[in-house]
Structure 1
């Protein structure tokens, strides 16, 4: 077996296995402390044996060095402090209350949603869901903020008439009280509003988000 092939096989074996570092160091030290075992002299034999032993020791020392560096790298990674966990920004402080407007009658009603924000918000979505209890048809909507600040949609979704206000990009809503109203006809009589709900999602300047949910009394 020539020296190049020997080196290749030793390197493959080193990569394929996880050697015992302590035993390998001991073997290398013993080998380096004394000459290779004596063998019968034949022409060219002694010089080849010495070269093979030297190559073996060199490759083994290289493997030990790599293992040692690997151990240091693992230790360094284990000792490295973990990065601080990301903390979500707190959402805007806000309150909401849903009521049936006292001006409602036996054929028509208005659901009022009062939203109060303690700080300016850069994102706002308001949904008023009127349960389809019979004869429900939208007759309009309004809000105390400028109509040009919102995109408003009205549609039937999952058994409810949904009035949705979405603040347009680049617009803001200042701190203070705000009202959103949904108007609709209904079947004659006193309507039960216990199935009506609202959802308000507010986003602050720092990206924090607050969600409010409730019903109408």
Structure 2
């Protein structure tokens, strides 16, 4: 076949060729979806840049997720540790509860007044509770009662009063959670008008003793026959 004849046939074949548009679009869609065309060889991973981008995105998301998980875990662990912290055990002295003084105590009634304080010369092992009693009229009967709350290690070491010793009977005993000092005026004796002192002394557990549970009461009969009753809690500010 001559060259001129071959070239002519090739031109005829090219002119008669019509491209299959639908087939070409299908091949393009398969390529975008990552599916190889029939008979085609899948390109190596290094030749697919879109896959590298997607892989990098996944890696970044993985790092962020791991960081968020670490922060969340640390926060949860801290909260759990805080919840597991045990409260410090209370000291024995803080658990001792003194009995409450009765309500309705009033320090003044008519000519009679009383007040109670801890002597400033008390120390971490020993204390003295001072009771002051004032009366503007003579008293024909009187009972003064000092109650020291049991806060640990109480042991009486004595008592005294500014009035004559033979005029009173004195007793000390434990009752209802208190160390109780009681001074009672003997029959036929009289308490003159004025300011008088009664004091109870005792050892106690080492440390500063809480006297807020202590109180004093006094019951008296005036020379006129009228009665009077007063009381006061220790630790009250003045």
Give the TM-score band, short-chain normalised.
0.5 to 0.7
2:166 aligned counterpart, secondary structure:
helix
Q: Who is 2:100 aligned against?
A: none
Question: Would you say 1:214 and 2:226 are equivalent positions?
Answer: no
Do the aligned residues in 2 keep the contact of 1:155 with 1:161 (CA within 8 Å)? yes
- TM-score, normalised to structure 2, is 0.52
Do the aligned residues in 2 keep the contact of 1:92 with 1:203 (CA within 8 Å)? no
Q: Name which of structure 1's ranges 198-207 and 161-170 shifts more when overlaid on structure 2.
A: 198-207
TM alignment of 1:1-217, pairs within 5 A: 93-217=111-235
- TM-score, normalised to structure 1, is 0.57
Do the aligned residues in 2 keep the contact of 1:92 with 1:209 (CA within 8 Å)? no
Q: CA deviation at 1:206?
A: 2.2
Do the aligned residues in 1 keep the contact of 2:137 with 2:223 (CA within 8 Å)? no
CA distance in 1 between counterparts of 2:118 and 2:128 reads 6
Do the aligned residues in 2 keep the contact of 1:122 with 1:205 (CA within 8 Å)? yes
CA distance in 2 between counterparts of 1:92 and 1:193 reads 27
Q: CA deviation at 1:92?
A: 5.2
Q: CA deviation at 1:216?
A: 1.2
1:102 aligned counterpart, secondary structure:
coil
Runs (4+) off by over 6 Å: none
Q: CA deviation at 1:109?
A: 0.2
Cα gap change, 1:166 to 1:92, in 2 (>3 Å): farther
CA distance in 1 between counterparts of 2:172 and 2:202 reads 11
Which one has the largest radius of gyration? 2
How many residue pairs match? The answer is 127
2:139 aligned counterpart, secondary structure:
coil
CA distance in 2 between counterparts of 1:127 and 1:168 reads 15
1:122 aligned counterpart, secondary structure:
strand
Q: CA deviation at 1:131?
A: 0.4
Do the aligned residues in 2 keep the contact of 1:92 with 1:208 (CA within 8 Å)? no
Do the aligned residues in 2 keep the contact of 1:140 with 1:183 (CA within 8 Å)? yes
CA displacement 1:12-40 (0-9 Å, x = unmatched): xxxxxxxxxxxxxxxxxxxxxxxxxxxxx
Q: Who is 1:50 aligned against?
A: none
Any stretches of 5+ residues in structure 1 without a counterpart?
A: 1-90
